[in-house]
Amino acid sequence: MPSEKAATIRQYFERMTAGDIEGIIGMFADDGFVVSPFLGTVPTRPFFEKLGNASSNSVLTVHDVLIGEDGSTGAGHFRYDWTLADGSQLTFEGVDHFTFDDDRKFKSMKIYYDTHPLRREVGDKYANA
């Protein structure tokens, strides 16, 4: 049902704000993966552990959640107020696009945002995480 899937996507953003890395990983299928502009394609656990190590605080504000026409995909448009482990702060908007498996877990997540301003400002903050 699309409304349950929309709620699942919103729950993902709530867990991101709470820093609940294990809870987020549990929302993904065992063979789930993330496609990141910074890191490429990474299995779920290593991606979110690296993100958790690179972060000290995150506030994600959801603007829209959309469910695809056949219900197998969904997307969340968000604002990310991100404090990195070194104390620097970034704010940007993006879209996370999710593919669901048959158990309503995330099979994949693709992250979309303009990386140019972020890379110019902070470089590769994942390098030491």
What pLDDT sits at residue 1?
Answer: 47
List, for residues 11-47, the tens digit of each pLDDT value: 999 999 999 999 999 999 999 999 998 889 999 999 9
Q: What is the CATH number of domain 2-122?
A: 3.10.450.50
- Which of 106, 83, 129 has the alpha carbon at shortest distance from 23? 106
Q: Distances in Å between the alpha carbon of 89 and those of 59, 66, 79, 111?
A: 11, 28, 13, 19
| Domain boundaries, given as residue ranges, for the chain | 2-122
pLDDT band of 103, cuts 50, 70, 90: very high
42-46, 111-115, 124-128: the lowest-pLDDT one? 124-128
What stretches of 1-129 show up as alpha helix (H) in DSSP? 2-18, 21-26, 44-54, 115-122
